[in-house]
Amino acid sequence: MLTAVRTVLARLGPTTAVRTVLACLGPTTAARELLAALASALAPPACWDCGATVAAGQPLCWACRAQLRFLRGERCPRCGLPAPCAGRCASPGSALARAWAPVAFEGPARALVHALKFRGALGVADAMAAQIVAGAPPGLLAAPAALVPVPTHPVRRRLRGFDHADCLAAAIGARTGLAVAPCLVRGGAPTRQAGSSRAARRTPGRIDVRARGDPPPYAVLVDDVHTTGATLEACASALRRAGAHAVCAVAYARALR
């Protein structure tokens, strides 16, 4: 039994593993401190990719960090793919002026994205934001731009209890000083992008996004993964219709296939 508890806590990390339990305990300081200390003793933080023990605040071990595939060299400014991007690039009529991501969506990067989105490892967002800010092209994350999180469908947000793009945008904002403007909302039925074909993802009307209030004149969309660009395109179009002058996008990882 103890081994099983250690395994679960190690995968979640002390902060994430006890968040729900701490909420159930209420404001009793002594109980909360005791549980947090017990979790740290039972299960030191573990790498989200391989499970090896890591230092506090480090989501990946050194070996897995070395396996991150940073996207270097010439990139298409419109779609963010390594050039030449050929037919995979967005059409000339795209509402996005620019798109960029620091790493390829594979291996340890995929593990971090899944940890944030599906396992509630909210602390991972800061490590992802650090890599985004460190490598962003000059001027992309600079005033007067504002960060606009790509909205999660309300149904999924209620089920998860958070919005991963909100967390990532907040972490980027804390490092850059840029304001976060959550001015987009999702409507319609929830759509599942993962596992859908490129053609299905880009079906007109599949993704229902609208702006509420006045959007920032210069907006930088923030999401965890840039795959076909269908969601980013829908968000950029909604911002442009609402009056935004220019819309760019940053994501943590870029799918290359």
Query: pLDDT 10s digit of each residue in the chain, 257 long?
Result: 545 544 544 554 444 444 444 444 444 555 545 555 555 555 678 999 999 999 888 999 999 999 999 999 888 888 888 888 776 776 667 899 999 999 999 999 999 999 999 988 999 999 999 999 999 999 999 999 999 999 999 888 888 888 999 999 999 999 999 999 999 999 876 666 554 444 444 545 568 999 998 999 999 999 999 998 999 999 999 999 999 999 999 999 999 87
248 pairs with which residues across the strands?
A: 98, 220
Residue type, 98: R
Measured distance CA(165)–CA(231) in Å, rounded: 12
Residue 252 · residue 131 · CB < 8 Å: yes
- Look up the pTM and report it: 0.79
DSSP per-residue string spanning 24-77: HHTT-HHHHHHHHHHHHHH---B-TTT--B--TT-SS-HHHHHT--B--S-B-T
Burial of 167 (0-12, 13-18, 19+ CB in 10 A): buried
Q: Which residues of 135-163 are buried (b: 16+ CB within 10 A; e: fewer)?
A: ebeeebbeeebbbbbbbbbeeebeeeeeb
Measured distance CA(255)–CA(164) in Å, rounded: 18
Return the residue matching tokens 């933080």: 45
The Cβ of residue 214 has, within 10 Å, a number of other Cβ atoms equal to 11
Q: Residue 252 has which token pair?
A: 């943590």
Q: Residue 227 has which token pair?
A: 């795959």
Q: Is the bond into 92 cis (omega within 30 degrees of 0)?
A: no
Residue 103 · residue 68 · CB < 8 Å: yes
Residue ranges of the alpha helices (H) in 86-245? 107-119, 124-135, 154-160, 164-176, 198-201, 230-241
